[in-house]
Chains A and B, each alone.
Chain A
Amino acid sequence: MKMTGARIFIESLKKEGVKVMFGYPGGVVLPIFDALYDSDIKFILTRHEQGAAHAADGYARATGKVGVCLATSGPGATNLLTGLATANMDSVPIVAFTGQVKTSLIGNDAFQEVDVIGITRPISKHNYLVKDVNNLTTVIKKAFHIASTGRPGVVAVDLPVDIQMQETDFHYPEKADIRGYKPTQKGHIGQIKKAAKLIANSKEPVLYVGGGVIISGASEKLREFAENTEIPVTMTLMGLGAFPGGHELSLGMLGMHGTAYANHAIQESDLIIAVGARFDDRVTGKIDEFAPNAKIIHIDIDPCAISKNVKVDVPIVGDANCILTDVIKYAKKPDISKWNKQIASWKKQFPLAYKKDSRLRPQYVVEEIYNVTKGEAIITTEVGQNQMWAAQFYKYKIPRQFISSGGLGTMGYGFPAAIGAQIGCPGKVIFDIAGDGSIQMNIQELSTAVANKLPLKIAILNNACLGMVRQWQELFYKKRYAYTCFDSSPDFVKLAESYGAVGMRIAKKKK
């Protein structure tokens, strides 16, 4: 049966199991929107394309499924970019569709034309321009395959308007066959045995785990491995939730904003077992001074991540879940009771603390959110101090509970991401922990949340300034506070009300 490109697009998404899509209409995507009109795919109309990309990202992070967003050509596409870069940096599977001017006009500086392939190249895993309607299904199949396998990421698909209108037969391919793309799953057994040997002989080992553990669903295996060996676990920002924050073997987060004891442990260790983490500069600080006595085992699905920042002794490329399963088989428990005693004493000596006085401290607010939600909410964050407090003072129990822009550090991320997460997990309690700066970057999405009757909560930690940047000015720029304090801010209570949401102000601890 012949179908238009737009219809084929919808049918292909259904084949991929897409239930929901986030986006914004425009001129050259009208054929698709017309086909969406009587389709059962749920379309969430955001108020800005950036919101759509972040919402698709939040949906993907909360559910583990591929997030899908759709925007028009030109400004629609450029507005998506921050969201796509955010997702790609954090290895979040997204397929982003953009409309494009008709093929005969491409390259002519036509109205609302922009080179989507060119501008998405550095911020995506791959991209496609569909120039023939007969290739549409193959491209969509490949796009979903690439986005969701290996190290996940963003795939952008550019759809010229004439392709959306042309007709052809609909055949959806069974599988995507890409000869240049075969991600490694199983780890090399020889390497795993080498790693097991290092583990058995270590005296001061630390597990350093990142987002890769969450993505590959390796949390159970990680826990089994840590408990078998009693090796303490520290997490990156992206890894929060990969191991229960309240577990006695947990050292919390490491790095610039991490706990002192996690950093002590890493620095003093003789073996670092990195799983799905990439030795980012916020973790290592100065590379030359990072963990000077440690041998390093690095488990990662992306060969590029290995030996990029630090020299690795035993690299193991593959899926963290597969590899941990094998590591558990071979690894023997090292004798580390002395080391764990040392760590316990660091924990006592340098606890994560803040001033507990009568003032309403942001850390206290996060702790109270933790108490009220019994530690079971999904927390999204913006970027800045709010993000670090949310990372430090909420103890995450399970994967996909902490949703935050780690790599790109995108202000304005948390709220639209919370919308996506809530749509993906309707029964969950979701809090966006925000600052007064970040929340204003995508505040328009309040309309989306209200329109979809989402029971979201936003906690705005309002200090009337851009706290993180101000903190740096305080420490490194002689307290010259250049443009980090707002001269004027909206009344957030009234603002919420004007969008049809409920706004409350809390100024004292008692309330």
Chain B
Amino acid sequence: MKIEDFHNCSAHLMKKTIAVLVENQFGVLTHVSGLFSARGFNIDSLAVGETEDPTISRMTIVVDGDEKTLEQVKKQLNRLIDVIKVIDLTGEDFVGRELVLIKVKIDDENRSEILQIADTFQARIDDVKRKETVIELTGDQNKIRSFIEIMKPFGILEIVRTGCIAIGRRQ
């Protein structure tokens, strides 16, 4: 998958997916998030977790901006002392996934229709109550976007998203 497929980007504003390896310690997130707010960079999503090396965390950051801003984002991230490596996945071949939990209104009439759609998307039903259900879906942003669109008419009560995590396919 290419970034072009991954996001519907316009000519000037584009989304960039950046993986940042950081020291797994106190205060690092403050430095990274502070950098974005101070420089007026827009974060689309940010996901963090420990890597195969427990002293290192990996952040996947999706940002919005023009070419110049995105160049600055990378440089400014590199400048942070706790940042070990910045990997720009944009344009690379990578796997990008997000987990989303959606609570949808449900009734006797549409129950089977909703369950069927969920099944088509290979989503999991986590909880079914008489009037609502929680659906768990993993996928790229296109898939998630379409699923949310389809669910909208039924009445979405709540959405929780993890933000994208991404890994390069190349060695």
Contact = CB atoms under 8 A, between A and B. Distances in A.
B34 A122 contact: yes
Given A125-B81, A126-B81, A180-B84, A117 B75 contact: no
20 contacts: A117-B27, A117-B30, A121-B34, A126-B80, A126-B81, A127-B27, A128-B27, A129-B26, A129-B27, A131-B26, A146-B81, A179-B84, A180-B22, A180-B81, A302-B79, A303-B79, A304-B72, A304-B76, A304-B79, A307-B71
Interface residues of B, number: 21
Interface in A171-187: 178-181
B104 interface: no
Contacts of A146: 81
Given A117-B27, A307-B71, 14 more contacts: A121-B30, A121-B31, A126-B80, A127-B27, A129-B26, A131-B26, A178-B81, A179-B84, A180-B81, A180-B85, A181-B81, A303-B79, A307-B68, A308-B72
B72 to A, nearest CB: 6
Nearest to A307: B71
Contacts of B34: 121-122
A128 B82 CA distance: 11
A107 interface: no
A190 interface: no
Interface string A104-137: 0000000000000110011001111101000000
Interface string A153-192: 0000000000000000000000000111100000000000
A399 B82 CA distance: 33
A123 to B, nearest CB: 10
A386 B53 CA distance: 55
Nearest to A311: B68
B140 interface: no
Interface centre among B22, B75, B76 (most CB of A within 10 A): B75
A122 B36 CA distance: 11
Interface of B: 22-23, 26-27, 30-31, 34, 38, 68, 71-72, 75-76, 78-85
Interface of A: 117-118, 121-122, 125-129, 131, 146, 178-181, 302-304, 307-308
A332 B170 CA distance: 44
Interface centre among A125, A129, A303 (most CB of B within 10 A): A303
A180 B23 contact: yes
Contacts of A181: 81
B82 to A, nearest CB: 6
Contacts of B23: 180
Contacts of A125: 81
A179 B30 CA distance: 19
Nearest to A181: B81
4 nearest CB pairs, A to B: A180-B84, A126-B81, A304-B75, A121-B34
A83 to B, nearest CB: 19
A308 B71 CA distance: 9
Given A129-B27, A178-B81, A180-B83, A303 B75 contact: yes
A262 to B, nearest CB: 28
A344 B30 CA distance: 53
Nearest to B21: A180
A334 B117 CA distance: 73
Contacts of A126: 80-82
A303 B83 CA distance: 15
B80 A180 contact: yes
A304 B75 CA distance: 5
Contacts of A129: 26-27
A202 to B, nearest CB: 26
Nearest to A123: B38
Contacts of B75: 303-304
Contacts of B81: 125-126, 146, 178, 180-181
A127 B34 CA distance: 13
Given A304-B72, A307-B71, A118 B84 contact: no
Nearest to A122: B38
B27 to A, nearest CB: 6
Contact of A180 (B26, B76, B82): B82
Contacts of A307: 68, 71
A127 B31 CA distance: 9
Nearest to B83: A180
Contacts of A302: 79
B151 to A, nearest CB: 39
A134 B139 CA distance: 45
Given A118-B30, A127-B27, A179-B84, A303 B72 contact: no
A121 B39 CA distance: 13
A146 B82 CA distance: 12
Nearest to B82: A180
Interface centre among B22, B72, B79, B84 (most CB of A within 10 A): B79
B35 to A, nearest CB: 9
